[in-house]
Amino acid sequence: MPSCEVVVCTRNRPSQLNDCLRAVRSLCYPNCGILVVDNGEENVATMKVCERWSAQYIREPRVGLSRARNRGAQNCTSEIVAFIDDDAIPSQNWLCRLIQEFRDPNVIATTGPIHPLIYTSQGEVRPHSGVIKGRIDRRVFDLSDPDWFAKSNFGGIGDGSNMAFRREAFKAWPGFHESLGRGTVVHGGEEHYAFFELIRLGQRIAFTPLAIVYHPFPDDPESVRVKELTDLCAATAYMCFFFVQQPQYRIALVRFLLRAAVRRIVGRPKDAANSFGRELKSVFTGLMQYFRSRPPRSGNSSIRHGKETQYDEQSH
């Protein structure tokens, strides 16, 4: 069985991190290390949590989830590098199921589904039977899939709270784009852009429905709606980023957006005028976020790593 290290990026959330590491230490996979990347100033409480669960602690002082993930991958020596959010809880066989997919030598990365996680009034963590994101059937994605472009860029393959890579992937691929993800102005899309880049390079990604991760999710209708609008804002900023960064795929992007717009208009309830206004505001905010993230004209817009930009203080 290949060696594996689980990278957990965190920022000022020692309590959630403690629950996450407790679950990681209970995984059935026998050859697993834990690497915690503290993305910000040194946090004594976070260090104590790492010590409690025998996890390696390093810091990435420049705020940004993509930067933290790249730093984590650079410090891993294992064959497989897995990623999970600091507020997520893996199922006991999560890592075993993810790593099984690497028996195919052509698979460079694997993903799995994300299920809702409920915190009870007593503060206990309780899994939920529903699914937030992810497919329900096993799939393999590569250039032979005629719809690989849309699936990789818009959540059809998986999400960042549940994924693993061969460490050798970071030798041929520059890693997560550091202009994307939590802690940057364009606060999303970094994992999808990673999947897009890997498949474009001729690599294969597998999704297994058996590798389950539980993640907090709002349980009241208004909170769910607020999250949907936030995600729409981030997706808009990401699409602007993609349009500029990948000019050869602009036609494919526009075609996807037109199809998505038609489906949304056809399926919209008749009394959704107020909802449409909120969505339009989210789209406009996403456009502004992207333009705020662009470097000065005198800079080099192709720089991926080490590029300074504006950051918010939102935690991972």
| Predicted local confidence at residue 217, as pLDDT | 82
Measured distance CA(163)–CA(205) in Å, rounded: 10
**pLDDT tens by residue, the chain, 316 residues:** 899 999 999 999 999 999 999 999 999 998 799 999 999 888 999 999 999 999 999 999 999 999 999 999 999 999 999 999 999 999 999 999 999 999 999 999 999 999 988 655 555 555 555 555 556 789 999 999 999 999 999 989 999 999 999 999 998 899 999 999 999 888 889 999 999 999 999 999 999 999 999 998 877 788 888 888 888 898 999 999 999 999 999 999 999 999 888 877 766 655 555 576 778 888 888 888 788 777 655 444 444 654 433 333 333 3
| Predicted local confidence at residue 316, as pLDDT | 37
User: Are 135 and 113 spatial neighbours (Cβ–Cβ below 8 Å)?
Assistant: yes
- Give the dihedral sign, CA 206/211/216/220: positive
Q: What is the pTM of this model?
A: 0.86
**Phi and psi, residue 32, nearest 5°:** -130, 130
Helix-strand-coil percent breakdown of the chain, rounded to 5?
A: 40, 20, 40
Q: Which residue has the tokens 């005198």?
A: 298
User: Are 198 and 176 spatial neighbours (Cβ–Cβ below 8 Å)?
Assistant: no
Number of Cβ atoms within 10 Å of the Cβ of 125: 15
| Predicted local confidence at residue 195, as pLDDT | 98
| Predicted local confidence at residue 1, as pLDDT | 85
Cβ burial of 304 (10 Å; 0-12, 13-18, 19+) is: middle
